[in-house]
Structure 1
Amino acid sequence: MSDSLPGTLGSRPRSAAQASGPRLATLLGPTGWARRALLTTLSIVLGIGLWWILSKTGFDLPTPPQVVRRARELLADGTLEKDILASLRRVVLGFALGCLVAVPVGFLMGWYEIARALIEPWIQFFRAVPPLALIPMMVVLLGIGETPKVVVIFLSSFLACVIAAFQGVVSVDRTLINAARVLGASDLTLFLRVVIPASSPYILVGMRVGLGASWATLVAAELIAAQDGLGFRMKNAQTYYDLPTIFLGVICIGLLGMVMDRLLLIAERRLTVWQERR
């Protein structure tokens, strides 16, 4: 009789088993974190294995132990840490400034017809010009200090993020805007409570694209009379045909970019919990 009574002691084991069922299915299911972690680890191992095989079969590539040994040497004298911090500082500063400027500009373009007509032609013009092509002009106008490096990275992130912010605003459901107006929402309330939340997925995706563009521009930006940085170290290693250092720079840039992208992805998921996902 106790099994049929809810809340009795006899019914608890079955309830616990039923409750643990979905958790176990989530853990081991196709979308569970354990499966993803296993596949990610397998992918990394296979990639390193393929790299090792290619380096041993005639391709002019350094082996993974050679790169690890070079990393230890550069860490021992502080060079690698200095280069990572220098590159990270430039990317974070240029990317942050690019996003801070791009979001309000994108909102203005999407919300006001006049602003769109005035600003959009220039955005489209500079999108067609690679930021790297502006390096000679930046050197002439801004010198060879840190400023031109940050400005080049700023432009690459800004142009990616501003289009996403603009698209987010123009994609807001008009029904939501009309409903808010009917309920008496002011323009400021409408903007803060409807437009910004509805366009945030677009903005965060644009930020991820802008972050990738910032790292992609880093190496070229550090060619502007830099004395440190991963791009500078790779360019300097090219002169001496130092392949382990070049590979180490590529790996560091890839890992740093991946970590920052994961952080943006976590922020995106937390800020857009209301959005339906597959």
Structure 2
Amino acid sequence: MTTTRVAALRQPGDAGAAAATASAPAASAGPASTAPLKTSRFRIPGEGSSTAISVVTVAVLLALWLVVTNLGWVKPLFLPSPQAVGEQFLDYVRGTANDKPLWEHFAASMLRVFSAFALACLTAIPIGIAMGMSRWARGIFDPPIEFYRPLPPLAYLPLIIIWFGIDETPKILLIYLSCFAPLALAARSGMRSATQEQINCAYSMGASYTQVIRHVILPSALPDILVGMRIAIGFGWTTLVAAEMVAANTGLGQMVLNASNFLRTDIVVMGIVVIGVVAYLFDLLMRWIERVVAPWKGRM
């Protein structure tokens, strides 16, 4: 009786479904059902997964440096010992070295780099956004940016000195130019991060063009802009030595260049280590800002 009622409730189109249901146990009983499911072993490592490896790598490099220099395998003129570099660092921190204290060099370099970086953010990011939105802006700004971007800063440094003299302006301008290109290109690339589905969804909910730009496109572009800021601040620090070649009295780059003229390799290595550590701390700071400002990165 039950079978008769079920058959009466079925529509004519249910015959195929019934056949598929009836054949499902037979299909599952085949050899394919006994095969084990294969799962991918590939996993994307997190940022913290390599911290221990990095610490061990740094410790090994420091130990190798200590052994090589203390056993006399390399002359101190070419590679000073960690003890000599540490002594010079303490002398500069205390102000007992035959030079200005370290904090004066550090403050001068920070002022130059961050002044140029702030100017680059204020100009390059809006230009990059305009390049991503308008073909006119892209056609105007893309040729000069792509022309000077591959040029090393020392190539156009003499021209900047001729145009702007030897005061602080050419130093800041040189660092500014090294920060400008990666910021503009990152902002331009970020403007294309929003998918068409997100834009159409915002329009279907009654958003205006300005609201789509503000609430959809710019949040999608923000992670790329922050990455561009990380790259730009790194380029700014790499240009620091070249910028402070222009008649500078203070600055980390000037300290390194002045020490190299007197073959003070211990001061040169100390300055390089300070510049590298500060640059790494800046990168960590930018990563933290990126996590705080754009927590949705990789989830959209």
Please say whether Structure 1 and Structure 2 have the same fold, judged by a TM-score greater than 0.5. Answer: yes
1:226-265 aligned at under 5 Å gives the runs 226-265=248-287
Superposed CA RMSD: 1.8
- Which deviates more from structure 2 when the two are superposed, residues 127-136 or residues 82-91? 127-136
Shift of 1:83: 0.6
Greater Cα offset, 50-59 or 106-115:
50-59
Superposed counterparts of 1:1-278, under 5 Å: 37-55=51-69, 56-59=71-74, 60-77=78-95, 79-276=101-298
**Could you say what secondary structure the match of 1:276 adopts?**
coil
| Equivalent-residue separation in structure 1 for 2:151 and 2:79 (angstroms) | 34
Shift of 1:143: 1.0
For residues 129-160 of structure 1, the C-alpha deviation after alignment (integer angstroms, 9 at most, x for no partner) is 22321211111111111111011001101111
Question: What is the identity percentage for the equivalent residue pairs of Structure 1 and Structure 2?
Answer: 35
Separation in 1 of the partners of 2:221 and 2:249? 41
Q: Which amino acid aligns with 1:71?
A: F
Structure 2 contact 113–172 (Cα < 8 Å) conserved: yes
2:153 touches 2:242 (CA, 8 Å); kept in 1? no
Question: CA deviation digits over 1:211-243, x for unaligned, max 9?
Answer: 111110000100000001111111111111001
- Rounded to whole Å, the distance in 1 between the matches of 2:81 and 2:150 is 39
Tell me which structure has the larger Cα radius of gyration. Answer: 2
> Aligned partners of 2:188 and 2:136: how far apart in 1?
14
In the alignment, the residues of structure 2 paired with residue 243 and residue 32 of structure 1 have an alpha-carbon distance, to the nearest angstrom, of: 35
Deviation at 1:96, TM superposition (A): 1.8
Cα distance in 1, alignment partners of residues 106 and 112 from structure 2:
10
Count of matched residue pairs: 247
Q: Deviations over 1:46-73 (max 9, x none)?
A: 1211211232342231111101111111
- CA pair 273-65 structure 1, distance change in 2 beyond 3 A: same
Report the counterpart of residue 6 of structure 2 in structure 1: none
C-alpha distance in structure 2 between counterparts of 1:121 and 1:31, whole Å: 38
Instruction: Tell me how far apart the structure 2 counterparts of residues 116 and 107 of structure 1 sit (CA, whole Å).
Output: 10
* Post-superposition offset of 1:188: 2.0
In 1: Cα distance, 2:295 partner to 2:169 partner: 38
Task: Report runs of 4+ in structure 1 exceeding 4 Å deviation.
Answer: 30-33
Greater mean deviation of Cα atoms: 109-118 or 121-130: 121-130
Paired letter, 1:91:
V
Q: TM-score, normalised by structure 2?
A: 0.78
Query: Deviation at 1:31?
Result: 5.4
Gaps of 5+ in 1: 1-29
**CA shift for structure 1 position 267:** 0.9
One-letter amino acid matched to 1:65? Q
* Alignment check: 8 A CA contact 1:110 1:167 kept: yes
SS in 1 for 2:239: helix
Query: What SS class does the counterpart of residue 185 from structure 1 fall into?
Result: coil
Q: Partners in 2 of 1:221 and 1:54 — Cα distance?
A: 33
- What secondary structure does 1:170 align onto? coil
